[in-house]
Structure 1
Amino acid sequence: MGGPSAAEPEGPGHPEGPEHPERAEPPERGTAADAEDAEVAVDAVIATRALTKRYRGGQLAVDGLDLTVPAGSVFGFLGPNGSGKTTTIRMLMGLIEPTSGTARVLGRPMPRAARAVLPRVGALIEGPALYGFLSGRDNLLRYDAADPTADPRTRRERVAAALDRVGLAAAAGKKAKAYSLGMKQRLGLAAALLRPRRLLVLDEPTNGLDPQGMREIRTLVRELASDGTTVFLSSHLLDEIEQVCTHAAVMARGRLITQGPVAELAAGRRGRLVVTTPDTGDAARVLKEQGAADVVIAEDRVTAEPPDRDLADLNAALVAAGVRVRGFGTERASLEDAFVALTGEGFDVAG
């Protein structure tokens, strides 16, 4: 009967490290590329310059990406399906090589410095890879044993601490194949937290979690950031990004659209106009006549993209037309508003 080494883990990829880390070579010293890369901001945990990935057949997945992730930030990575986010993450983690351009993680070039960088990086990419016949605890013990830099004398204590941190201590002895999707996601996150990390890369970290679990993961991310860990995460839940992230970047069709502090990304957007009235039909008609766009009626509310004019004039036009206005104002522009305006499409960041 074959032992555990004969079994293949479930899932699309290992939570940490490249598929073939032995192929990564230590960085060369004194090259022109190193000198150019040295110009990148020294406090950037992730920095790319003109990073490009073109697949066979000419498909351009990532096009000239200049990305900067500040140290100590919680950085949200956003983009519609197929925008190139997961391809970018794979290049950053040394799973695939770029066609051109450079990527530096923790100040070192990737994938050349993968052996030096990856022990300081925790990652959960495209879901955790688990041995279904092993318990959650034994999965983590196996992951930790595969790390040549991990101290075997403290292995069980670190595994217990990681399980407790993600709320799986009570289910540690349960076989992974019996775990729910959310529990598997937690276990993958625990694997990324087996040792202190300078950088944590999370691809859809709340996938499959219930609302309580999502709140716990958000709290955990904040705690990690307060301890000095930089967290880089993608999520299709834009309100979640807005709640937990300090910085964000938006990609579309392989190109970077914008990046910066979350509070500033939506600052340039005017919020939606909201009119509360029993005369919704008349209100919608007047707003359209005044140049408002995307007018929507919902019960006793009419919302719209306001025209570029004084809102007091819109209110006066409504009153002059006999609309009984019970409420009039604008809602603060959200990150979702900014995202849709920038990309021109909905958001599904699985790409």
Structure 2
Amino acid sequence: MTRSSQRTSQRTLQSLLLKRFGMAVASYVLVFVVCLVGGYNGLLTGTPVLYLLLIGVIVLSQALFFWLFVSARNLRFRDPSLTEAQVLVALTWLGALLSLLDEGRGTLLALYVLVMLFGVFQLRSRVFARCALFAFCSFSAINLYEAYTYTLGSPGLAAMQVFTLAVLLLWLCLFANYMQTMRQRMRQRRFALQAHQDTLRGMMRQLEDLVATDELTGLCNRRHFLHLATRALEELQPESRLGLALIDLDHFKRINDVHGHAAGDRVLQMFAGVARACLRDGDTIARYGGEEFVLLLPNADSDQVASCCERLREAFAQAEPIGIKVDNLSLSIGMTLMTSNDNLDDALQRADQALYQAKRGGRNRCAAAWEDSGA
């Protein structure tokens, strides 16, 4: 992954984490509204100073989290979302708030569910259970302290609240474990699907290569060549030219008759190797049919086309097939040029006529049809 993509990924992650942090802050605001309703109905105990102190500490803690996210220092932690830390801080402040309540304490037990749900999808099951245990212990400690100091209003009601909280937290732990299991399965299925997609893409590329390649020589086949030539002709600039040549191996039928078809196949393969060695990067050669081949030379003039074809003809005449001895190997070539206004069928017809002239002239030579191509 490049640095640019890493920075983009980090910005996306930070944006998502800031949105989640905004949801947490909104939850604090809702709890504050609930407390205002409780205070209006006389359910809150304690002095206003304690509530102001609690609000101040909460604001400072959230300001610290906000600074960590904005400064990107959260990325230094193992969990950049700081979900566990935010949940534990929220549970601490919730416990402090409940310690200031009496009759309304049971009603606000639902806030434990609100806090714990914040970590259902992010925390691992073991970490979630640890946070749930902290919530249960902190709430139980409040009731035990009040029982020890004889300030507990109703021991039966307190026991009921503790039991209810235990049931809620246990259910949340089971739900969180179920969600984590489902997420893990979905992740595994996604990876498996991606692997299948990669395999299918590889198979498609192999099929495309098979469709576009001549099996014997490894060169382009006729269909793929016509596709490439048509596209090259469509993209050709007015001032540029495309070289086109039809190549025929001389007396190839006699090679098959005298030495066998296996020898003929080796000669075709040898020609393919010679052609690859003689051509430039970007030049295209394809098996056009039988012992006939077709050559496409981009950005070439008549001299370049003629020089390339002569070099190919001489190299083939000097080559020797491996494992067999075939004398007097030669080929004939018909050449032409194409312009942006040209037609591929017409150009192939001109090259074929030039090839016919080369054969009539005694074979083992190159002939050209420049005059009709705008050369």
Query: What TM-score results when the alignment is normalised by the length of structure 1?
Result: 0.18
Q: Compare the two structures and name the one with the higher strand fraction.
A: 1
Higher RCO (CA 8 Å, separation ≥ 6 residues): 1
Q: Compare the two structures and name the one with the higher helix fraction.
A: 2
Bigger radius of gyration among the two:
2
